[in-house]
Structure 1
Amino acid sequence: MDFSISDDRRMLTDTLRRYLFEQYPVDHRTRVAYAAPFHDPAQWAALAGLGLFHALAPEDRGGIGGTGFDVAVVFEELGRALCPEPVLGQLMAIRLTLAAGGDLEPLLTGETRAAVALDEAEAGWDLDALTTRAADGRLTGRKTVVYGGAGADRLLVAAAGPGLWDVAAGDAEVAGYGMIDGGPAAEVFLDATPASCLIPEARAALEEARDWAALALSAEALGAMEAAFAMLTDYLATRKQFGQPIGTFQALQHRAVDLAIEIEQARSIVILAASAMDTPERAKRVSQAKHLVGRIARQVAEEVIQMHGGIAMTWEYPVSHYAKRLVMIDHQMGDSDWHLERLMGMLEAG
């Protein structure tokens, strides 16, 4: 497998990394991620102007990428900067709109912000357990933890069937809030809410969109892990104890090397998953990635805090925010256990 990235993707990576470093430093992120609207609308518009969303769609539909590797490099940089902009919801909306044959232009330009209302409290991640019902062009039900739902213009709602419906956010009751690790989410209440059906039988489209989201989250975790590890190695080289940097202590060196190896394993599985997004192996590779990355992300979060000591628990030190995000990524779009069970089901099915 070729582990190098193309010149176009390298340019995208460099541009996005430089922009986020200059315009979205961690102190700015901390200010905007935990107070309404839980992101920076001006930066959302600026990222759209950079063509970020065009990188998430194929060229034949107006985008400039749309492959697994394009999505992975974008979200890796978002994770490295701990960026709370609701790009995940936009990615899922783009994939579902592609499946429905709809117009992507408002999503690609950022003119329309969309969120995908998929999860329900009692259903977990089981599409067969959805209780939101459609009748006479109206939806009734409740959707929980809708990522990017606060401030979205359109809601793409999964209802029992499963089917996919388009709802104007203004027609629904949307209770927005910030997630514990920053960024916007919402509870969505539907009570005979007007809706238009995009895909009557949407199981394949919804599963595919969730797989793209799981790949994106795995790549985001990879970027966040690398940033947290870089802070750790810098700390080990500068923090002194007994008159010498603590990075010279063999026990800490071994723990840091173990973390570096785990992060490289995470990178390898993300690359494998990205390469399989347009193949029959998509679901298997994505679940492998989400399961392994979820486990490693938790390990990295725990280890960087332990090796930093008490300073890593403070609000002002960035490591605490990276650790929160790494832990919470595992709970989005299926946690490690759910993806392991999914893999086991695939093996049993042959």
Structure 2
Amino acid sequence: MDVKDFRYDLPQELIAQDPLEDRSSSRLLVLDKDTGEITHKHFYDIIDYLDEGDCLVLNETKVIPARLMGVKKDTGAVVEILLLKRKSKTVWECLVKPGKKCRVGAVIEFGEGLLTGTVSDIVEEGNRIIEFEFDGIFEEILDKLGTMPLPPYITHTLKDRNRYQTVYAKNDGSAAAPTAGLHFTKELLKDIEDKGVKLAKVTLHVGLGTFRPVKVSDVRQHHMHSEFFQVSKEAADIINSTRANGKRVICVGTTSTRTVESASDDKGYLKEKSGWTDIFIYPGYKFKVLDALITNFHLPESTLVMLVSALAGREKVLHAYEEAVKEKYRFFSFGDAMFIK
């Protein structure tokens, strides 16, 4: 299976640079995974495709302002840091630019000494383990000094950082937003619940591994970075009872998908569980829990295009993407949505 099999052509101008004023007014491409039929709607129409007794799986992770600008204490050189994985209260695995200047022992100051970090180790792919020193509460300091780690294809400045956050975001820890959830408003979610659709809330802290380009030609040789996930007993019970009643489990986003597929046994039964997952879903994968998926439009040759192709078939997905390009849909994080039913 060649990575080039998941390529498609995307005009630069279709990459969404700003979120829409109204989250739920984005467009929605509905793809029938069995027939390949495509329907064009708006996201607020999603409620028409949800039935009483169905279950929506939401990822409650919250994006932290994980990008920090600092200076090396000895030279004054500017250093950019992206917090990736929390190892303990004061220790993080970080992506550092420029990495070469930050050897073990390097001390970096942020906010004129409000926060200080010392590089204690160099790990996989040159990431740095940094031990931070500060007075007070780390999250409050981060709120003051950090900025949202927007993907590199977004060049505009984000005016309101809450727009790169779902309305149900709760658990701090992500370096990127679970973007399929950005389309929901609180009002739309209430209407969905009033219709008798259950909401199962899980957590997967999104790392940059999700977006890491596939650098091998044979897809099967690609290795995903691990990400922390958590499924509560309540969420597991909701999902299990939905399946037992013959109703659908509909995941909001690829992160929710990877969470439930990681947490279930071979028969699709979930228990309360937390841990790290590096699950990689590509064509040939047999889904154990998920029946349908709400997702955004993803980068060519990305693991996310491979995941949706595993659900609906590569040819149908790439045809839907071609149709979306033709109809001038907005792509990627702040773009439009797709429902694979």
TM-score scaled to structure 1, two decimals?
A: 0.24
TM-score scaled to structure 2, two decimals?
A: 0.24
Higher helix share: 1
Relative contact order, higher structure (CA 8 A, sep 6+): 2
